[in-house]
Structure 1
């Protein structure tokens, strides 16, 4: 917004974008990349998130048009979380954020002729009031999970789901029947309230469209099926991590993981990471260590506790320290590297020495692995991960399953882990998975390049919001 000093006329921005992420890193990182891309089109973007999250994100923006066009609005953590009706503390916490988000959106809207809110699909209630209180607003739902996971959840939550493309839907039904109890059930993955949330999302009428961190080269069938369930448009704008130009790393200090990979043979290293939301038990860590040791395969293993959901002392925290078996690091010295903090996952997956990824199958990790042409050993834990594991294993056929989903409550033994690693890294079947992953990677890279289909789709969305 600018003011003409001679006559005090206020000039409003044509469009301002407000981003409302779910404040878990696995979600907000995706929206932040989208925020930077939109800001690079000279559109003011206001990122509304917890103060500590914003502080981390500010360090990633260094100069350029996108930096000057991103404005951070800090949401302060409520000082107390009163117990309410037996609800989990995370639910109570999120309810406390409704009012500050509503107030911030209203404040931002006064500077624009039109406010566009892009919100995580989980944050529907947080922007509901904006539609009744702001006359110049429209909103778009951002989905941080795969189209396959969303569609599978819809099928399990809504009776007689209307889908126009009957043949493709029949294929999905056939796969479910063939898998029997190996196909995930929504309530087992996401809890008893998941189906109600899915129905609520599906019935939400305040959004002008849906944004997916996916691409048609990977999920064309399920993006089309989703589009047939609603009159709202879907834009597949991913993989989001490929939207931004990579930084010149010539002046950066080389990470220990990359130094380790530089000394290994092509496709010889398996990368092991369970993301930011999983903490393995000490017993499971012991089995994983032994399995990696017995596989005789080179590896990088990111071993860390799950990130805290929110920065507040009222939430339960697990301070139990995870230890490696005595002598393990000495025994694998030279062929194994254990990282106990942050690791540059994209750089690791993009390195020629990395030949596989033992993963929890979070959607970010799946997309990053696919885009880099790296096959997976699928070890899903919860949420959308079991659906993603089915997708990469049974449909894309670029992954092997570490263990049966039906036996998910059981300890995964060292011998099971050893077998899965060796299958991925040392068999003809593993080579074929890698070849399929590389083919997908090449298609994705062509699609996100200038003039490619994915690039056209994100530019179509930009055009829509500034129309």
Structure 2
């Protein structure tokens, strides 16, 4: 088997957004740790972004991966508009479209590897169909898709009268509207690419049977993308236990957390590519103050297409109420740059996580046993909010998707924070979150469902 591994090359191609870059870098580390040769193919700036934000692994693990830079012509990298009526990060659309230009360079890499390798395995984000097309064109290449979102996210799109709708009703779940999940322009763009999508040799998913087994069983019988296909639920791909073996300097917020009582701090972050509006910053700030709970709030501008375009002052903190920073002394801190989320969530002082519900954040929070206060913004997040809160029951919805156009007032925010942080309802949610953490950690351990499916995938590609 080892000889077979040496003759197999894996090329991982992430979609160029933080949540995707991160998950596929975690996957690359997992695969390389099993003795496989892994190439992580992305833009130079995104390789830098992914590595600089990586957490939870021993510093030496990154050395096992072969990073391959894909050149791209210059593209626009406009600033985000936090006060837009649509939360989808439309400012990243120039990057998403320009990314198509890496196709010939990826094709060259695959052709080169196909000459020297017995088999080339291409694992690409499921929205990058051209990677699979280039792989399918070579006789010893196999294309696999990697889903960075939960498969159950497709259920709300099926309609109430469909088998999917019947399944949701049987589980007592009400699917959120799919309106405004994504901009119309990007929806058309993704649809046009998926129409020419080739057949994949299999599918990897950053989930586990424990979390979505009921939905996976349904899809294996009902959905063409799953029926008769090789499906490997291998998540979470992020580390589920954090060690102090990184060479990176320790973030100052961790020193502050060390001084706080266990399970006493609320962590607030809305992800890397979304900014809340000026008015909402004001209301959230007041809600945090009035809740009288300790907190860490990541308040930064959303990533641009090139996250390193320029160093600029963080204008989001200028929208805080007058005197806010003085009033939170000793009670909370506001972070204006990138925060080590996985390390924060694993800290004993963290009690809850107010989140936009990106799937990466959901899996990290579940892995660390931290209950969520859900505040979805776009894409898969409205469904993830329901999945976490109403199905897994390890969270509480702060802003329902029906109210996405509204500014949520401080009094409502304060009420939900207290409900979970210090209320009786919060105790049950915290207990369930701890139980789910232990179950997920068992799933990725030797003999667990996710570990077994990972080994099955490795055995399949090295057959």
Report the TM-score when normalising by structure 1: 0.85
Secondary structure of the structure 2 residue equivalent to 1:189: coil
Instruction: Report which stretch shifted further, 72-81 or 386-395.
Output: 72-81
Answer yes or no: is 1:24 the counterpart of 2:17.
yes
> In 1, Cα distance between the equivalents of 2:394 and 2:209?
17
Listed as ranges, the matches of 1:135-214 within 5 Å are 135-153=139-157, 155-156=158-159, 170-174=166-170, 179=174, 183-192=175-184, 194=187, 197=190, 204-214=197-207
Secondary structure of the structure 2 residue equivalent to 1:207: coil
> In 2, Cα distance between the equivalents of 1:206 and 1:300?
45
Tell me by how many angstroms 1:98 deviates: 2.1
Listed as ranges, the matches of 1:189-268 within 5 Å are 189-192=181-184, 194=187, 197=190, 204-228=197-221, 229=223, 230-242=227-239, 246-249=242-245, 253-268=249-264
Q: Is the 8 A contact 2:181 2:380 kept in 1?
A: yes
> In 1, Cα distance between the equivalents of 2:413 and 2:422?
14
> In 2, Cα distance between the equivalents of 1:100 and 1:347?
36
Q: Is the 8 A contact 1:13 1:113 kept in 2?
A: no
Deviation sequence 1:29-61 (CA, Å, 0-9, x none): 111111111112222111110011223445668
Tell me by how many angstroms 1:209 deviates: 0.8
Instruction: Report which stretch shifted further, 429-438 or 189-198.
Output: 189-198
Q: Which residue of the other structure, out of 117, 123, 126, is the alignment partner of 2:131?
A: 126
Listed as ranges, the matches of 1:247-396 within 5 Å are 247-249=243-245, 253-310=249-306, 321-323=316-318, 324-396=320-392
Tell me by how many angstroms 1:202 deviates: 9.1
> In 1, Cα distance between the equivalents of 2:218 and 2:191?
16
Secondary structure of the structure 2 residue equivalent to 1:110: helix
Q: Taking structure 1 as reference, are residues 370 and 246 closer, same or farther at Cα in structure 2, changes over 3 Å only?
A: closer
Deviation sequence 1:1-27 (CA, Å, 0-9, x none): xxxxxxxxxx99521111111011110
Deviation sequence 1:48-80 (CA, Å, 0-9, x none): 10011223445668775x545421111223136
> In 2, Cα distance between the equivalents of 1:255 and 1:78?
35
Q: Taking structure 1 as reference, are residues 102 and 203 closer, same or farther at Cα in structure 2, changes over 3 Å only?
A: closer
> In 2, Cα distance between the equivalents of 1:18 and 1:215?
23
Q: Is the 8 A contact 2:269 2:297 kept in 1?
A: yes
Report the TM-score when normalising by structure 2: 0.85
> In 2, Cα distance between the equivalents of 1:186 and 1:242?
31
Tell me by how many angstroms 1:389 deviates: 0.2
> In 2, Cα distance between the equivalents of 1:80 and 1:121?
23
> Any gaps of 5 or more consecutive residues in structure 2?
77-91
Q: Select the structure with the greater relative contact order (CA < 8 A; seq sep ≥ 6).
A: 2
Secondary structure of the structure 2 residue equivalent to 1:188: coil
Secondary structure of the structure 1 residue equivalent to 2:41: strand
Q: Which residue of the other structure, out of 441, 454, 457, is the alignment partner of 2:453?
A: 457
Secondary structure of the structure 2 residue equivalent to 1:241: coil
Secondary structure of the structure 1 residue equivalent to 2:118: strand
Listed as ranges, the matches of 1:418-437 within 5 Å are 418-437=414-433
> In 2, Cα distance between the equivalents of 1:388 and 1:431?
22
Secondary structure of the structure 1 residue equivalent to 2:457: helix
Q: Is the 8 A contact 1:282 1:322 kept in 2?
A: no
Q: Taking structure 1 as reference, are residues 113 and 120 closer, same or farther at Cα in structure 2, changes over 3 Å only?
A: same
Q: Taking structure 1 as reference, are residues 37 and 331 closer, same or farther at Cα in structure 2, changes over 3 Å only?
A: same
> Any gaps of 5 or more consecutive residues in structure 1?
1-10, 82-86
Secondary structure of the structure 2 residue equivalent to 1:190: coil
Q: Which residue of the other structure, out of 110, 122, 139, is the alignment partner of 1:105?
A: 110
Secondary structure of the structure 2 residue equivalent to 1:235: strand
Greater Rg over alpha carbons, structure: 1
Deviation sequence 1:214-271 (CA, Å, 0-9, x none): 111111111222222222121111111127x744349875432222222222221111
Q: Moved runs in structure 1, 4+ residues, more than 6 A?
A: none
Tell me by how many angstroms 1:319 deviates: 8.1
Deviation sequence 1:354-378 (CA, Å, 0-9, x none): 1111110111111111111111111
Q: Which residue of the other structure, out of 396, 411, 415, is the alignment partner of 2:411?
A: 415
The aligned length equals 435
Instruction: Report which stretch shifted further, 192-201 or 279-288.
Output: 192-201
Answer yes or no: is 1:96 the counterpart of 2:101.
yes
Secondary structure of the structure 2 residue equivalent to 1:275: coil
Tell me by how many angstroms 1:390 deviates: 0.7
Q: Is the 8 A contact 1:359 1:376 kept in 2?
A: yes
